[in-house]
Amino acid sequence: MVIKPKVRGFICTTAHPVGCAAHVQEQIDYIQSQPRVDGPKKALIIGSSTGYGLATRIAAAFACGADTIGVCFEKPASDNRTATAGWYNTAAFEQAARQAGRFAKTVNGDAFSDEVKQEVIDLIRTHFGQVDLVVYSLASPRRRHPRTGETFSSVLKTIGQPFTSKTVDVHTGKVTEVTVQPATEEEIRDTIAVMGGEDWQMWMDALEEAGVLADGATTVAYSYIGPELTRAIYRDGTIGKAKDDLEATALRLNERLRARGGRAFVSVNKAVVTQSSSAIPVVPLYISLLFKVMKEKGLHEDCIQQMYRLLAHRLYTGGEVPVDDQGRIRLDELELREDVQAAVMSGWEQVTTDNLAQLTDIAGYRRDFLRLFGFEMDGVDYEADVNPDVAIG
Ligand code: NAD
Protein backbone atom coordinates (compact mmCIF):
# COMPACT_ATOMS: atom_id res chain seq x y z
CA MET A 1 0.00 0.00 0.00
CA VAL A 2 0.96 3.66 -0.40
CA ILE A 3 1.10 5.17 3.10
CA LYS A 4 0.42 8.83 3.82
CA PRO A 5 0.22 10.58 7.20
CA LYS A 6 -3.25 10.78 8.76
CA VAL A 7 -3.04 13.24 11.62
CA ARG A 8 -5.84 13.30 14.20
CA GLY A 9 -5.25 15.82 16.99
CA PHE A 10 -1.92 15.01 18.58
CA ILE A 11 -1.48 11.60 17.00
CA CYS A 12 -0.87 10.27 13.54
CA THR A 13 -2.86 7.09 12.89
CA THR A 14 -0.56 5.80 10.16
CA ALA A 15 3.16 5.01 10.17
CA HIS A 16 5.61 4.31 7.36
CA PRO A 17 7.80 1.19 7.73
CA VAL A 18 10.56 2.41 5.40
CA GLY A 19 10.53 5.90 6.93
CA CYS A 20 10.65 4.53 10.49
CA ALA A 21 13.59 2.33 9.49
CA ALA A 22 15.34 5.40 8.05
CA HIS A 23 14.69 7.29 11.29
CA VAL A 24 16.21 4.44 13.33
CA GLN A 25 19.18 4.26 10.94
CA GLU A 26 19.77 8.01 11.28
CA GLN A 27 20.07 7.53 15.05
CA ILE A 28 22.39 4.56 14.61
CA ASP A 29 24.55 6.64 12.23
CA TYR A 30 24.79 9.39 14.83
CA ILE A 31 25.93 6.94 17.51
CA GLN A 32 28.45 5.36 15.15
CA SER A 33 29.95 8.81 14.50
CA GLN A 34 30.71 9.14 18.23
CA PRO A 35 33.48 7.54 20.31
CA ARG A 36 32.62 4.09 21.72
CA VAL A 37 31.65 3.85 25.39
CA ASP A 38 32.77 1.21 27.88
CA GLY A 39 29.24 0.69 29.15
CA PRO A 40 26.59 -1.98 29.66
CA LYS A 41 26.79 -5.36 27.94
CA LYS A 42 23.33 -6.80 28.70
CA ALA A 43 20.59 -4.20 28.84
CA LEU A 44 16.84 -4.30 29.47
CA ILE A 45 14.94 -1.32 28.08
CA ILE A 46 11.35 -0.94 29.31
CA GLY A 47 9.59 1.42 26.86
CA SER A 48 12.01 0.62 24.05
CA SER A 49 10.11 1.43 20.86
CA THR A 50 9.96 5.22 20.57
CA GLY A 51 11.37 8.44 22.04
CA TYR A 52 13.92 8.29 24.83
CA GLY A 53 13.70 4.53 25.36
CA LEU A 54 14.40 3.72 21.71
CA ALA A 55 17.31 6.19 21.68
CA THR A 56 18.75 4.57 24.82
CA ARG A 57 18.47 1.12 23.24
CA ILE A 58 20.25 2.34 20.10
CA ALA A 59 22.98 4.08 22.12
CA ALA A 60 23.54 1.04 24.37
CA ALA A 61 23.73 -1.36 21.41
CA PHE A 62 25.82 0.74 19.05
CA ALA A 63 28.01 2.79 21.41
CA CYS A 64 28.58 0.10 24.05
CA GLY A 65 28.02 -3.09 22.04
CA ALA A 66 25.21 -4.14 24.39
CA ASP A 67 22.84 -7.02 23.74
CA THR A 68 19.34 -5.78 24.49
CA ILE A 69 15.90 -6.96 25.47
CA GLY A 70 13.17 -4.38 24.86
CA VAL A 71 9.62 -4.09 26.19
CA CYS A 72 6.98 -2.04 24.42
CA PHE A 73 3.25 -1.83 23.75
CA GLU A 74 2.74 -1.51 20.01
CA LYS A 75 0.30 -2.75 17.39
CA PRO A 76 1.13 -4.82 14.30
CA ALA A 77 -0.46 -4.05 10.93
CA SER A 78 -3.98 -5.40 10.42
CA ASP A 79 -6.29 -5.47 7.39
CA ASN A 80 -6.00 -1.96 6.00
CA ARG A 81 -4.20 -0.36 8.96
CA THR A 82 -0.46 0.14 9.23
CA ALA A 83 1.40 -0.99 12.34
CA THR A 84 2.29 1.69 14.89
CA ALA A 85 5.55 3.60 14.51
CA GLY A 86 7.06 1.88 17.54
CA TRP A 87 6.42 -1.49 15.90
CA TYR A 88 8.30 -0.47 12.75
CA ASN A 89 11.09 1.16 14.80
CA THR A 90 11.50 -2.07 16.73
CA ALA A 91 11.64 -4.20 13.59
CA ALA A 92 14.30 -1.90 12.11
CA PHE A 93 16.31 -1.79 15.33
CA GLU A 94 16.30 -5.56 15.76
CA GLN A 95 17.43 -6.10 12.19
CA ALA A 96 20.27 -3.57 12.43
CA ALA A 97 21.40 -4.87 15.83
CA ARG A 98 21.47 -8.48 14.64
CA GLN A 99 23.36 -7.49 11.50
CA ALA A 100 25.94 -5.89 13.80
CA GLY A 101 26.20 -9.18 15.72
CA ARG A 102 24.19 -8.02 18.72
CA PHE A 103 21.41 -10.00 20.36
CA ALA A 104 18.06 -8.15 20.25
CA LYS A 105 14.66 -9.42 21.34
CA THR A 106 11.51 -7.52 22.14
CA VAL A 107 8.50 -8.39 24.27
CA ASN A 108 5.41 -6.60 23.01
CA GLY A 109 2.88 -6.45 25.84
CA ASP A 110 1.77 -4.59 28.94
CA ALA A 111 4.89 -3.80 30.98
CA PHE A 112 2.70 -3.14 34.02
CA SER A 113 1.56 -6.78 34.13
CA ASP A 114 3.14 -9.66 36.06
CA GLU A 115 3.00 -11.83 32.92
CA VAL A 116 5.25 -9.55 30.88
CA LYS A 117 7.70 -9.22 33.79
CA GLN A 118 7.87 -13.02 33.99
CA GLU A 119 8.32 -13.36 30.23
CA VAL A 120 11.22 -10.91 30.36
CA ILE A 121 12.82 -12.71 33.32
CA ASP A 122 12.62 -16.01 31.41
CA LEU A 123 14.25 -14.37 28.37
CA ILE A 124 17.05 -12.92 30.51
CA ARG A 125 17.65 -16.34 32.13
CA THR A 126 17.79 -18.07 28.78
CA HIS A 127 19.88 -15.59 26.83
CA PHE A 128 21.77 -13.32 29.24
CA GLY A 129 21.92 -14.89 32.69
CA GLN A 130 21.73 -11.40 34.16
CA VAL A 131 21.29 -7.77 33.06
CA ASP A 132 23.68 -4.97 34.00
CA LEU A 133 21.48 -2.04 32.87
CA VAL A 134 17.72 -1.54 33.34
CA VAL A 135 16.21 1.52 31.66
CA TYR A 136 12.68 2.54 32.62
CA SER A 137 11.23 4.80 29.92
CA LEU A 138 7.49 4.16 29.96
CA ALA A 139 5.01 6.88 29.11
CA SER A 140 1.45 5.65 29.26
CA PRO A 141 -2.01 7.14 29.67
CA ARG A 142 -3.20 4.26 31.87
CA ARG A 143 -2.14 1.34 34.02
CA ARG A 144 -3.93 -1.74 35.20
CA HIS A 145 -2.59 -2.55 38.64
CA PRO A 146 -1.33 -6.15 38.64
CA ARG A 147 -2.38 -6.85 42.25
CA THR A 148 -5.76 -5.10 42.59
CA GLY A 149 -6.87 -5.16 38.95
CA GLU A 150 -7.82 -1.48 39.27
CA THR A 151 -7.25 0.62 36.14
CA PHE A 152 -5.80 4.09 36.65
CA SER A 153 -5.81 6.89 34.08
CA SER A 154 -3.28 9.70 34.19
CA VAL A 155 -4.36 13.31 33.61
CA LEU A 156 -2.42 16.41 32.65
CA LYS A 157 -3.92 18.95 35.03
CA THR A 158 -2.82 21.58 37.50
CA ILE A 159 -3.01 21.24 41.26
CA GLY A 160 -4.97 23.81 43.30
CA GLN A 161 -5.69 26.60 40.81
CA PRO A 162 -6.78 26.67 37.16
CA PHE A 163 -4.01 27.81 34.81
CA THR A 164 -4.54 29.93 31.72
CA SER A 165 -1.80 30.15 29.14
CA LYS A 166 -1.03 30.53 25.47
CA THR A 167 -1.01 27.32 23.48
CA VAL A 168 -0.76 26.34 19.83
CA ASP A 169 -2.61 23.92 17.61
CA VAL A 170 0.52 22.60 15.94
CA HIS A 171 -1.25 21.56 12.75
CA THR A 172 -3.30 24.70 12.07
CA GLY A 173 -0.76 27.12 13.59
CA LYS A 174 -3.46 28.85 15.61
CA VAL A 175 -2.24 30.40 18.85
CA THR A 176 -5.01 30.59 21.43
CA GLU A 177 -5.50 30.60 25.18
CA VAL A 178 -6.22 27.43 27.05
CA THR A 179 -7.37 27.05 30.63
CA VAL A 180 -6.35 23.88 32.39
CA GLN A 181 -8.50 22.89 35.34
CA PRO A 182 -7.12 21.61 38.64
CA ALA A 183 -7.22 17.88 39.29
CA THR A 184 -9.22 16.17 41.99
CA GLU A 185 -7.38 14.25 44.74
CA GLU A 186 -8.34 11.03 42.97
CA GLU A 187 -6.90 12.21 39.66
CA ILE A 188 -3.64 13.15 41.37
CA ARG A 189 -3.44 9.72 42.99
CA ASP A 190 -4.24 7.97 39.71
CA THR A 191 -1.61 9.92 37.76
CA ILE A 192 1.01 8.96 40.36
CA ALA A 193 -0.13 5.33 40.06
CA VAL A 194 0.47 5.42 36.29
CA MET A 195 3.57 7.58 35.89
CA GLY A 196 5.15 7.39 39.37
CA GLY A 197 7.72 4.91 40.63
CA GLU A 198 5.64 1.92 41.80
CA ASP A 199 5.96 -0.09 38.62
CA TRP A 200 9.70 0.64 38.28
CA GLN A 201 10.09 -0.62 41.86
CA MET A 202 8.05 -3.74 40.97
CA TRP A 203 10.32 -4.43 38.01
CA MET A 204 13.44 -4.09 40.13
CA ASP A 205 11.95 -6.30 42.89
CA ALA A 206 11.01 -8.97 40.35
CA LEU A 207 14.42 -8.91 38.65
CA GLU A 208 16.27 -9.10 41.98
CA GLU A 209 14.09 -11.86 43.37
CA ALA A 210 14.60 -13.89 40.21
CA GLY A 211 18.39 -13.45 40.51
CA VAL A 212 18.68 -11.89 37.04
CA LEU A 213 20.02 -8.50 38.14
CA ALA A 214 23.83 -8.45 38.07
CA ASP A 215 25.88 -7.16 41.00
CA GLY A 216 26.89 -3.60 40.18
CA ALA A 217 23.89 -3.12 37.87
CA THR A 218 22.64 0.35 36.98
CA THR A 219 19.03 1.37 36.61
CA VAL A 220 17.78 4.70 35.29
CA ALA A 221 14.34 6.27 34.72
CA TYR A 222 13.54 9.57 33.01
CA SER A 223 12.12 12.77 34.37
CA TYR A 224 11.52 16.36 33.31
CA ILE A 225 11.54 19.69 35.13
CA GLY A 226 11.23 22.42 32.50
CA PRO A 227 10.89 26.19 32.75
CA GLU A 228 8.72 28.56 34.73
CA LEU A 229 6.40 28.86 31.71
CA THR A 230 5.16 25.28 31.98
CA ARG A 231 5.56 24.89 35.74
CA ALA A 232 1.84 25.03 36.59
CA ILE A 233 0.92 22.39 34.03
CA TYR A 234 4.06 20.24 34.27
CA ARG A 235 6.26 20.22 37.33
CA ASP A 236 3.69 21.62 39.77
CA GLY A 237 0.86 19.70 38.09
CA THR A 238 -0.31 16.09 38.29
CA ILE A 239 2.52 14.77 36.10
CA GLY A 240 5.05 16.60 38.31
CA LYS A 241 3.67 14.80 41.36
CA ALA A 242 4.22 11.51 39.54
CA LYS A 243 7.80 12.59 38.72
CA ASP A 244 8.38 13.47 42.41
CA ASP A 245 7.33 9.91 43.21
CA LEU A 246 9.60 8.48 40.50
CA GLU A 247 12.54 10.51 41.83
CA ALA A 248 11.87 9.35 45.42
CA THR A 249 11.82 5.77 44.11
CA ALA A 250 15.26 6.31 42.54
CA LEU A 251 16.70 7.35 45.90
CA ARG A 252 15.21 4.28 47.62
CA LEU A 253 16.38 1.93 44.87
CA ASN A 254 19.84 3.48 44.99
CA GLU A 255 20.12 2.77 48.73
CA ARG A 256 19.15 -0.84 48.13
CA LEU A 257 21.30 -1.51 45.08
CA ARG A 258 24.33 0.15 46.65
CA ALA A 259 24.72 -2.84 48.96
CA ARG A 260 25.51 -4.91 45.84
CA GLY A 261 27.67 -2.25 44.15
CA GLY A 262 24.75 -1.09 42.00
CA ARG A 263 23.11 2.28 41.50
CA ALA A 264 19.77 3.84 40.57
CA PHE A 265 19.20 7.27 39.06
CA VAL A 266 16.63 9.51 37.56
CA SER A 267 17.91 11.43 34.58
CA VAL A 268 16.24 14.77 33.92
CA ASN A 269 16.16 15.04 30.13
CA LYS A 270 15.40 18.00 27.88
CA ALA A 271 12.07 18.66 26.13
CA VAL A 272 11.82 16.92 22.75
CA VAL A 273 9.00 16.10 20.34
CA THR A 274 7.66 12.63 21.15
CA GLN A 275 4.22 11.07 21.04
CA SER A 276 3.92 11.76 24.77
CA SER A 277 5.09 15.38 24.85
CA SER A 278 2.77 16.36 21.99
CA ALA A 279 -0.20 15.44 24.18
CA ILE A 280 0.60 18.02 26.89
CA PRO A 281 -1.18 21.40 26.59
CA VAL A 282 1.12 24.48 26.31
CA VAL A 283 4.28 22.34 25.92
CA PRO A 284 4.32 22.20 22.05
CA LEU A 285 4.36 26.03 21.85
CA TYR A 286 7.18 26.13 24.40
CA ILE A 287 9.13 23.47 22.45
CA SER A 288 8.67 25.39 19.17
CA LEU A 289 10.20 28.49 20.78
CA LEU A 290 12.89 26.46 22.53
CA PHE A 291 13.97 24.74 19.30
CA LYS A 292 14.27 28.08 17.51
CA VAL A 293 16.52 29.47 20.25
CA MET A 294 18.60 26.32 20.76
CA LYS A 295 19.12 25.83 17.00
CA GLU A 296 20.23 29.48 16.62
CA LYS A 297 22.70 29.03 19.47
CA GLY A 298 23.99 25.72 18.09
CA LEU A 299 22.71 23.85 21.17
CA HIS A 300 19.93 21.74 19.64
CA GLU A 301 19.71 18.10 20.73
CA ASP A 302 17.21 15.33 20.08
CA CYS A 303 16.68 12.06 22.00
CA ILE A 304 19.72 10.33 20.52
CA GLN A 305 22.21 13.10 21.37
CA GLN A 306 20.82 13.23 24.91
CA MET A 307 21.02 9.47 25.40
CA TYR A 308 24.57 9.33 24.07
CA ARG A 309 25.52 12.01 26.59
CA LEU A 310 23.76 10.03 29.33
CA LEU A 311 25.88 6.95 28.68
CA ALA A 312 29.17 8.56 27.65
CA HIS A 313 29.30 11.62 29.89
CA ARG A 314 27.25 10.70 32.92
CA LEU A 315 26.76 6.98 33.65
CA TYR A 316 29.85 5.31 32.19
CA THR A 317 32.75 7.75 32.53
CA GLY A 318 34.52 5.44 34.99
CA GLY A 319 34.19 8.11 37.68
CA GLU A 320 31.50 9.51 39.97
CA VAL A 321 28.19 10.25 38.28
CA PRO A 322 27.54 13.99 38.54
CA VAL A 323 24.14 14.69 40.13
CA ASP A 324 22.26 17.73 41.45
CA ASP A 325 21.44 18.40 45.10
CA GLN A 326 18.52 15.96 44.86
CA GLY A 327 20.60 13.13 43.45
CA ARG A 328 19.33 13.55 39.86
CA ILE A 329 21.39 13.36 36.67
CA ARG A 330 20.84 16.55 34.66
CA LEU A 331 20.84 16.54 30.87
CA ASP A 332 18.63 19.64 30.70
CA GLU A 333 21.36 22.15 31.55
CA LEU A 334 21.41 23.61 28.03
CA GLU A 335 17.62 23.94 27.87
CA LEU A 336 17.56 25.74 31.22
CA ARG A 337 20.55 28.01 30.53
CA GLU A 338 19.69 31.59 31.47
CA ASP A 339 20.28 33.07 28.01
CA VAL A 340 18.19 30.32 26.38
CA GLN A 341 15.26 30.80 28.74
CA ALA A 342 15.43 34.62 28.46
CA ALA A 343 15.16 34.35 24.67
CA VAL A 344 12.30 31.84 24.92
CA MET A 345 10.48 34.12 27.36
CA SER A 346 10.80 37.14 25.11
CA GLY A 347 9.40 35.14 22.16
CA TRP A 348 6.61 33.78 24.35
CA GLU A 349 5.38 37.28 25.23
CA GLN A 350 5.21 38.31 21.57
CA VAL A 351 3.99 35.16 19.82
CA THR A 352 0.62 35.19 18.02
CA THR A 353 -0.93 33.22 15.17
CA ASP A 354 0.39 35.85 12.72
CA ASN A 355 4.05 35.78 13.73
CA LEU A 356 4.26 32.09 14.78
CA ALA A 357 6.32 31.08 11.74
CA GLN A 358 8.88 33.87 12.30
CA LEU A 359 9.21 33.70 16.07
CA THR A 360 9.17 29.94 16.57
CA ASP A 361 10.46 26.79 14.93
CA ILE A 362 6.94 25.48 14.35
CA ALA A 363 8.14 24.07 11.01
CA GLY A 364 10.81 22.05 12.84
CA TYR A 365 8.23 20.90 15.37
CA ARG A 366 5.86 19.68 12.64
CA ARG A 367 8.68 17.96 10.82
CA ASP A 368 9.86 16.21 14.00
CA PHE A 369 6.28 15.17 14.73
CA LEU A 370 5.84 13.59 11.29
CA ARG A 371 9.27 11.96 11.51
CA LEU A 372 8.08 10.15 14.67
CA PHE A 373 5.80 8.20 12.32
CA GLY A 374 8.37 7.73 9.57
CA PHE A 375 7.28 10.63 7.35
CA GLU A 376 9.40 13.54 6.06
CA MET A 377 12.53 11.37 5.97
CA ASP A 378 14.98 12.29 3.21
CA GLY A 379 15.52 9.60 0.62
CA VAL A 380 12.25 7.73 1.25
CA ASP A 381 9.88 7.37 -1.71
CA TYR A 382 6.48 8.08 -0.22
CA GLU A 383 4.69 7.29 -3.49
CA ALA A 384 6.04 3.72 -3.53
CA ASP A 385 3.93 0.72 -2.69
CA VAL A 386 5.20 -0.77 0.59
CA ASN A 387 4.29 -3.88 2.56
CA PRO A 388 2.94 -2.75 5.95
CA ASP A 389 3.31 -6.25 7.41
CA VAL A 390 6.62 -6.45 9.24
CA ALA A 391 7.63 -8.91 12.00
CA ILE A 392 9.26 -8.20 15.36
CA GLY A 393 10.27 -10.49 18.21
P1 NAD B 1 7.20 7.82 24.15
O2 NAD B 1 5.72 7.95 24.09
O3 NAD B 1 7.98 8.13 22.94
O4 NAD B 1 7.61 6.31 24.59
C5 NAD B 1 6.88 5.57 25.49
C6 NAD B 1 7.30 4.12 25.44
O7 NAD B 1 6.55 3.39 26.44
C8 NAD B 1 7.00 3.41 24.11
O9 NAD B 1 8.06 2.49 23.83
C10 NAD B 1 5.72 2.62 24.40
O11 NAD B 1 5.54 1.45 23.59
C12 NAD B 1 5.98 2.23 25.84
N13 NAD B 1 4.77 1.89 26.59
C14 NAD B 1 3.72 2.67 26.92
N15 NAD B 1 2.83 1.97 27.65
C16 NAD B 1 3.34 0.73 27.80
C17 NAD B 1 2.89 -0.46 28.46
N18 NAD B 1 1.75 -0.49 29.14
N19 NAD B 1 3.67 -1.56 28.37
C20 NAD B 1 4.84 -1.56 27.67
N21 NAD B 1 5.32 -0.46 27.06
C22 NAD B 1 4.57 0.66 27.12
O23 NAD B 1 7.64 8.68 25.40
P24 NAD B 1 8.95 9.53 25.77
O25 NAD B 1 8.62 10.97 25.58
O26 NAD B 1 10.19 8.96 25.19
O27 NAD B 1 8.94 9.31 27.36
C28 NAD B 1 9.75 8.36 28.02
C29 NAD B 1 10.14 8.92 29.37
O30 NAD B 1 10.94 10.11 29.18
C31 NAD B 1 8.93 9.35 30.23
O32 NAD B 1 9.21 9.06 31.58
C33 NAD B 1 8.90 10.86 30.02
O34 NAD B 1 8.27 11.55 31.08
C35 NAD B 1 10.40 11.14 29.97
N36 NAD B 1 10.77 12.46 29.39
C37 NAD B 1 10.23 12.88 28.21
C38 NAD B 1 10.57 14.15 27.74
C39 NAD B 1 10.00 14.68 26.43
O40 NAD B 1 10.13 15.86 26.14
N41 NAD B 1 9.39 13.83 25.62
C42 NAD B 1 11.48 14.97 28.44
C43 NAD B 1 12.03 14.48 29.62
C44 NAD B 1 11.67 13.22 30.10
Across-strand partners of 213? 131
- Quickly state the pLDDT bin for 285 (edges 50, 70, 90): very high
Q: Span 354-373, mean pLDDT? A: 97
Q: How far apart are CA 92 and CA 380, in angstroms?
A: 15
The residue whose CB lies within 8 Å of the most ligand 1 atoms, and thus the one to mutate among 88, 222, 307, is 222
- Write down the pLDDT at residue 171: 87
Q: Is the dihedral of CA 119, 206, 317, 223 positive or negative?
A: positive
- Distance between Cα 211 and ligand 1 center (Å): 27
- Distance between Cα 75 and ligand 1 center (Å): 16
- Write down the pLDDT at residue 47: 98
DSSP 8-state assignment for residue 82 = P
The CA-based angle 33-36-42, given to 5 degrees, is 120
- Write down the pLDDT at residue 266: 98
Tens of pLDDT, residues 202-242: 999 999 999 999 999 999 999 999 999 999 999 999 999 99
Tens of pLDDT, residues 234-271: 999 999 999 999 999 999 999 999 999 999 999 999 99
Which of the residues 234, 286, 316, 365 is marked catalytic?
A: 234
Residue nearest to atom 3 of ligand 1 (CA): 51
Mean pLDDT taken over the chain: 97
Residue nearest to atom 12 of ligand 1 (CA): 47
Task: Give CA torsion, residues 335, 336, 339, 343, to 10 deg.
Answer: 70
Tens of pLDDT, residues 74-126: 999 998 899 999 999 999 999 999 999 999 999 999 999 999 999 999 999 99
- Distance between Cα 257 and ligand 1 center (Å): 24
Residue type, 288: S
Tens of pLDDT, residues 302-345: 999 999 999 999 999 999 999 999 999 999 999 999 999 999 99
- Write down the pLDDT at residue 367: 96
What atom of ligand 1 comes closest to residue 48's alpha carbon? Answer: 9
Alpha helices in the chain (DSSP H): 17-32, 51-64, 85-99, 114-127, 185-195, 198-209, 238-258, 283-296, 303-309, 338-350, 356-359, 362-371
Regarding the beta carbon of 74 and ligand 1, being less than 6 Å apart is answered yes
CB neighbours of residue 180 within 10 Å: 22
Is residue 49 a contact partner of residue 70, using CB atoms and an 8 Å limit? yes
- Write down the pLDDT at residue 79: 86
Whether CATH 3.40.50.2300 fits 7-371: no
Residue nearest to atom 14 of ligand 1 (CA): 140
- Distance between Cα 271 and ligand 1 center (Å): 12
Confirm whether pTM is higher than 0.85: yes
- Distance between Cα 47 and ligand 1 center (Å): 6
- Write down the pLDDT at residue 197: 98
Q: Is the pLDDT of residue 371 over 90?
A: yes
Tens of pLDDT, residues 161-211: 999 999 999 989 999 999 999 999 999 999 999 999 999 999 999 999 999
The residue whose CB lies within 8 Å of the most ligand 1 atoms, and thus the one to mutate among 54, 115, 140, is 140
- Write down the pLDDT at residue 80: 86
Is residue 382 part of the annotated active site? The answer reads: no
Binding-site positions for substrate read 224
Residue type, 111: A
- Write down the pLDDT at residue 10: 84
Q: Is the pLDDT of residue 26 over 90?
A: yes
- Write down the pLDDT at residue 393: 80
Regarding the beta carbon of 267 and ligand 1, being less than 6 Å apart is answered no
- Quickly state the pLDDT bin for 141 (edges 50, 70, 90): very high
